[in-house]
Amino acid sequence: MDGLARDFLYALRNLRKNRRFSLVAIFALALGIGATTVMFSVIYGVVIDGLPYKNFERSVVFRVQNLANVGGWKGRDFFLPDETRAFREQNHA
């Protein structure tokens, strides 16, 4: 524990001697903490906290899938205009 205190005092003494290095180090540290905070806020707001809808966990995703393709998944996450119209006409919810 004594060695840790001595190392800390040595670091403070060197930071006081070289002011330019101290400013660059503090700026880099502040920039890193700020960037990390922004990234966490964005990820938390979009992914972790969920969508701002009532019962968002009951949301569903529609996909168009080619059932004839047995070997792999060949599909898309969008509907063509004709498929959208057909889905709307057949929907009874």
DSSP code for 47: I
Average pLDDT (54-70) is 71
- Could you list the residue range(s) of the whole structural domain that residue 12 is in? 2-90
Minimum mean pLDDT range among 5-9, 43-47, 61-65: 61-65
Q: Cα–Cα–Cα angle for 12, 18, 19, nearest 5°?
A: 95
pLDDT of residue 4: 93
Q: Would the CA dihedral through 80, 83, 89, 93 be positive or negative? A: negative
Total structural domains within the chain: 1
H or E element that contains 65: strand 64-65
Who wins on pLDDT, 20 or 84? 20
pLDDT of residue 17: 92
Average pLDDT (58-80) is 69
User: pLDDT of 11-52, one tens digit each?
Assistant: 889 888 999 989 999 999 999 999 999 999 988 887 777 667
